[in-house]
């Protein structure tokens, strides 16, 4: 039952890592305020550039109207209209961007918390399994009741070590990790190969 629960947990972790791993790592390496404000700045700059590019294009297409406004000393009014339109568009963009970024950041934070809870749960299960294995091994060694576990599908001369060549009494649980995973491996030494 515990093994099934561990498999389910590892499967959920793998799925979460596959679908949201980059977002979770980004959330861990970036402060919450930056996750909200960075997209707002980017969208604000993009909207400003697009607005003024559209304004220049519109002015070029309606050059006669612009020249009439300049001739009638209405340049200030024209500039005020452009600035009010830009500030209105920028305010709406910032408001929408803040709401979207905050919602996205909250979702990523929930995923990150879920990911860490699952990792801690898996680590607890591995520690409990390691303690159980050590207790079982020490009980077998003390009572001299060790029986080698059956190994199906491995025959002598098939390219694998045979059961007679392995020392199951001195099996060890090794732990190592890389950038993405933490590995727990049961290592069985060869008979006569142990030092000390």
The answer to whether residues 159 and 124 belong to one domain is: no
Q: Residue 95 pLDDT > 70, yes or no?
A: yes
Q: In which domain, by residue range, is 181 found?
A: 155-196
* Between residues 144 and 180, the one the model is more confident about: 180
pLDDT at 138: 57
The answer to whether residues 117 and 52 belong to one domain is: yes
105: its two tokens: 């950041």
- In the predicted model, what is the mean pLDDT of the chain? 77
pLDDT at 19: 81
Q: What digits encode the pLDDT tens for the residues 102-150?
A: 888 888 888 888 888 888 888 888 777 766 666 655 555 555 444 555 5
The answer to whether residues 97 and 139 belong to one domain is: yes
Stretch (H or E) spanning 141: helix 75-143
Q: What digits encode the pLDDT tens for the residues 19-65?
A: 888 888 877 777 777 777 888 899 999 999 999 999 899 888 888 88
* Whether the Cβ atoms of residue 186 and residue 175 lie closer than 8 Å to each other: no
Give the end of a domain, one of 111, 129, 146.
Answer: 146
Stretch (H or E) spanning 184: strand 182-187
């Amino acid at each position: 039952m515990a093994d099934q629960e561990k498999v389910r947990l590892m499967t959920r972790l793998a799925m979460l890592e596959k679908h949201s791993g980059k977002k979770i790592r980004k959330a861990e390496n970036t402060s919450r305020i930056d996750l909200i404000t960075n997209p707002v700045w980017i969208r604000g700059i993009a909207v400003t550039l697009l607005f003024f590019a559209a304004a220049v294009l519109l002015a070029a297409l309606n050059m006669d109207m612009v020249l009439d406004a300049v001739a009638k000393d209405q340049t200030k009014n024209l500039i005020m209209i452009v600035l009010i339109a830009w500030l209105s568009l920028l305010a709406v963009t910032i408001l929408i961007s803040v709401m979207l970024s905050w919602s996205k950041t909250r979702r990523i934070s929930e995923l990150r918390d879920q990911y860490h809870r699952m990792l801690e749960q898996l680590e607890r299960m591995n520690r409990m399994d390691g303690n159980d294995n050590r207790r079982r091994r020490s009980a077998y060694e003390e009572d001299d009741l060790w029986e080698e576990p059956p190994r199906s599908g491995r025959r002598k001369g098939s390219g694998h070590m045979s059961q007679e060549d392995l020392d199951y009494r001195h099996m060890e649980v090794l732990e190592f990790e890389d950038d993405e995973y933490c590995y727990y491996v049961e290592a069985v030494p060869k008979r006569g190969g142990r030092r000390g």
